[in-house]
A and B are shown apart, each in its own frame.
Chain A
């Protein structure tokens, strides 16, 4: 059982791989049994419409129809879907589970039907007649802000549902000084970040059933937040919390899109309750385009004052987030963008205005990086533009603006929903920058560019990320001895594919100095971890790891106390040594936990009850991870195809528990960011219907897009947790679009191209090269 503390930091292969590789892992859809009722959701096919009538007459006559529901059939006191980040300045928007009077986005659930199989359910759904009275759709932020624009929520009197401002220093003075200062420049630029989809390979699904033996409802859902879902299902349906159990099975990717509380999760439960059936639902890909939250769409207008020496003296941002029809989150993504907009750069004067605007599109929510990628793109483009205007090297202008290691902790003077004061806890930004410049061979790039073959325009781009990770709330964990002699960790971190089990057990094994084989990881079940925040915001390894360590410490104390009691010696005489209990100053041999159990039983004590330790790792504040990215791209000037050739990241997520898995997170994130830079944008037609029905129209990165990676780590431990860790899940995604777009701009600079907005797909780049640039 004995292990070593040095397992922390090793490139451990994953414990969770075998069932995934053999196809025996059980995802949500694999839990569906033939006797379950299949739910099909009837969705609005209008972006904005009054629902005049829902006619179930025909479907009700079909013998195959096991049940149907619309808003009219739901209990009048049914709760609404939650919005999690309402601030004083937010308008409270709570969507009904099924749209009643008005549908506010194409795809909004209106009704359900139940059948014995998915094919029949789809047939039945066709028989439900919905009469719509179309309303004028509001499809863009510009439209939504027009004085006489239709209001999505007329009672609110505005399509702006959240507004905040931030002020640091005296930007007014700094801009005035720049306007009159010799050599200073003022740069103004607009950025539009497109609407994208997280696109996990596994789509969403849920199953609800009544457990005959317990009288409880068991809900399986492909969710990142089973505990939150359990609480919200209780609130919405009125069932007592104790009568609900939620389990997240194997999850085929989440990326934030599986952390909303979705109408379908409530509907399977409501249908199971109403019709006394086990009810299952799985999303299809066409449905997913409108039924699963979108990410990113944001417009940033930036104004920067830059001294002739390259120091950015002031920054002003007007941020408009297009949050679609709105539910779940109103202020989070633009809040994250603004809180991190200045990144690692000092920029002493800052002013921002942030507005969340509702439109008739699928609700927006967090997607890997939330608002950070948008902020990073804007800030890093501004620096490149400033460098060009001032004739400075692009690495040098960054070097001059970076916060220095000795300045930590750094109070940034801004807030964020749920966090009144953003303070950078740790980091070494100059070291990250220099490391990445070396990794990408920045100094020799001019030679490389000159050597490129005709028709291939090379460019290099930099970006720097500082992101909020490892956020609260407090994280529980429980460690107990199992009958088979292994230690079982009950974690609140629901794995979504990142390798949480391997990482967290590696951390726990190092702490206890036991072998990982002596440990068992269990999670994703409200019975195992009744109260836990869930998996999001790059918090799993840090919060879950620190909670596991706290539980480990509590377990060791419990084991020592038990032996001390049995042997009637003081507690401090018993020490833990890698799974063995050693009595100091005594003649007894070191004792295994198994022997301790036998001893306890012979004394009439149930050891499994005593060796069961609960702990909570408190919300100790946001740990800020950072990293410098660099991309080298080649633009084929005949076809407009952009190839990312090389990609370097020096990342600082504090102490790295498993570099293999952290690198995996970075690379996967970078390629997702590459997708948003080069391919991905979900567009709508004038009637408010999406122009994509899946991955044929909405193009995702393939293997051909994968760059050569050079990954490095700098470890500045976070002082906010005993392990000194910071999150890594979103890091790659956050910096990639900015570095790649900067590289594309650099490659196209000799052609006199005004870059405008992405994504820089081949047709778009071709147009930039050969036609008049169109506004975004």
Chain B
């Protein structure tokens, strides 16, 4: 059964660390990041590309890790929530949190925290592209993520607080 599928070498950079591994062609990037690269901040909320919890940044572009095969990431530079400071272009503050993380905490923009890492990653890229987005633009951006706890209002407020 298993012998029909070959193992392929894979090397990629995950949060500034070179990860060399062997994967099968069908292995999802989300699984490989979690299991081979120890990036358990990549959360699997649906595995269908809808919820956005597994969002990572691949060569500067946010993407759903659950919608990519790991072999497609050969040679890529992948940033997860562990690279948030780098994505924001700001150092980590005294409490070990970035500016964006601090805003989320201040505004109580997370509850169970499961959707949070993916949300932070894509928001960091969003703000890097547009430092002063309107509320509508923020909402538009957030429509790519599902959060079941907060009702979104505090997430919008947290991002707005940085946009001003």
Residue positions of A touching B, CB distance < 8 A = 13-14, 16-27, 29-30, 34, 62, 64, 118-120, 123-124, 127, 199-203, 250-253, 255, 284-285, 496-499, 660-661, 663-664, 667-672, 693-696, 700-709, 732
Contact = CB atoms under 8 A, between A and B. Distances in A.
B133 interface: no
Nearest to A700: B146
Nearest to A707: B153
B151 A24 contact: no
Contacts of B111: 253, 497-499, 664, 668
Contacts of A660: 108
Contacts, number: 184
A701 B106 CA distance: 24
B97 A18 contact: yes
A664 B148 contact: no
Nearest to B24: A119
A90 to B, nearest CB: 31
Contacts of B151: 667-672, 701, 706, 732
Contacts of B140: 704
B50 to A, nearest CB: 4
B27 interface: yes
A570 to B, nearest CB: 46
Contacts of B143: 702-704
A444 to B, nearest CB: 23
Interface string B19-46: 0000010110001001100001111111
B96 interface: yes
B110 A17 contact: yes
Nearest to A126: B1
A17 B156 CA distance: 18
26 contacts: A13-B106, A21-B120, A22-B97, A29-B43, A30-B34, A64-B1, A119-B26, A119-B27, A201-B112, A202-B45, A203-B44, A250-B112, A250-B113, A251-B112, A252-B45, A252-B114, A253-B112, A255-B148, A285-B48, A497-B113, A663-B108, A696-B50, A703-B155, A704-B140, A706-B151, A706-B153
Interface string B46-66: 111011010000000000000
Interface in B127-164: 138-140, 142-143, 145-156
Interface string B93-111: 0011100010011101011
A252 B113 contact: yes
Question: Of residues B113, B139, B143, which shows the largest number of chain A Cβ atoms within 10 Å of its Cβ?
Answer: B113
B44 to A, nearest CB: 7
A670 B43 CA distance: 25
B2 A120 contact: yes
Contacts of A672: 148, 151
A250 B106 CA distance: 21
Interface of B: 1-2, 24, 26-27, 31, 34-35, 40-48, 50-51, 53, 80-82, 84, 95-97, 101, 104-106, 108, 110-117, 120, 138-140, 142-143, 145-156
B4 to A, nearest CB: 10
Nearest to B111: A497
Contact of B104 (A17, A253, A255, A702): A17
Contacts of B53: 201
Contacts of A30: 34, 40
A15 B51 CA distance: 26
Most buried by B among A27, A118, A664: A664
B81 A668 contact: no
A298 B44 CA distance: 32
A759 B112 CA distance: 27
B152 A706 contact: yes
A119 B1 CA distance: 12
B78 to A, nearest CB: 14
A693 to B, nearest CB: 8
A69 to B, nearest CB: 20
B114 A22 contact: no
Nearest to B114: A252
Contacts of A21: 97, 101, 104-105, 110, 113, 116-117, 120
A20 B147 CA distance: 14
Q: Which of A21, A29, A255, A702 has the most CB of B within 10 A?
A: A21
B107 to A, nearest CB: 9
A62 B1 contact: yes
B46 to A, nearest CB: 4
B156 A702 contact: no
A555 B24 CA distance: 57
Given A20-B116, A21-B116, A252 B43 contact: yes
B50 A695 contact: yes
A22 B82 contact: yes
Given A21-B97, A704-B139, A704-B143, A664 B154 contact: yes
Contacts of B42: 23
A667 B150 contact: yes
A497 B34 CA distance: 22
Contacts of B96: 18, 22
A316 B34 CA distance: 55
B2 A20 contact: no
A238 B143 CA distance: 48
Contact of B105 (A17, A667, A669, A694): A17
A52 B25 CA distance: 37
A14 B97 contact: no
B46 A695 contact: yes
A574 B110 CA distance: 43
A200 B113 contact: no
Contact of B152 (A22, A119, A671): A671
A311 to B, nearest CB: 36
B113 A20 contact: yes
Given A22-B97, A702-B143, A667 B154 contact: yes
Contacts of A16: 113
A664 B108 contact: yes
Contacts of B152: 671, 701-703, 705-706
Contacts of B110: 17, 20-21
A700 B42 CA distance: 21
Nearest to B53: A201
